[in-house]
Amino acid sequence: MVISCVAAALCAATAATQPKVTPAAPRVEIVVVPDGGIQPQAVVDAAGTIHLLYFKGEPAHGDLFYVRRAANAAAFSQPLRVNNQAGTAIASGSVRGGRIALGRNGYIYVAWNGAAPVERDSVSQNPMWYTRISARGIVDPQRAIGTHTRHLDGGGAVAADLNGNVHVVWHAAGEEDGETHRRIYVVSSTNDGARFGEETAFSTDGGNCGCCQLDALIDARGRLQVLYRSATGGVHRDATWLTIANGKATAPVTLQPWELPACPMTTFAMAEARDGIVAAWEMQQQVYTATLNADGRVASTPSPMTGTSVRKHPSIAINAAGDRLFAWTEGTAWARGGTVAWEFAIEAVNV
Say whether pLDDT at 8 is over 50: no
- pLDDT, tens digit, 9 for 90 and up, residues 256-294: 999 999 999 999 999 999 999 999 999 999 999 999 999
Nearest by Cα to 115 from 147, 141, 87: 87
CATH topology of domain 4-345: Neuraminidase (2.120.10)
Main-chain dihedrals φ then ψ at residue 90, nearest 5 degrees:
-135, 145
How far are the Cα atoms of 2, 222, 289, 331 from residue 59, in angstroms, in the given order? Answer: 14, 35, 30, 19
Instruction: Spell out the domain ranges in the chain.
Output: 4-345
Average pLDDT over residues 119-130: 87
Percentage, residues of the chain above pLDDT 90: 80
Q: Would the pTM of this model clear 0.85, i.e. be above it?
A: yes
Task: Please tell me which residue, 27 or 153, carries the higher pLDDT value.
Answer: 153
- pLDDT, tens digit, 9 for 90 and up, residues 320-347: 889 999 999 999 888 788 899 999 887 6
Average pLDDT over residues 70-95: 95
Residue 318 CB neighbours (<10 A):
21
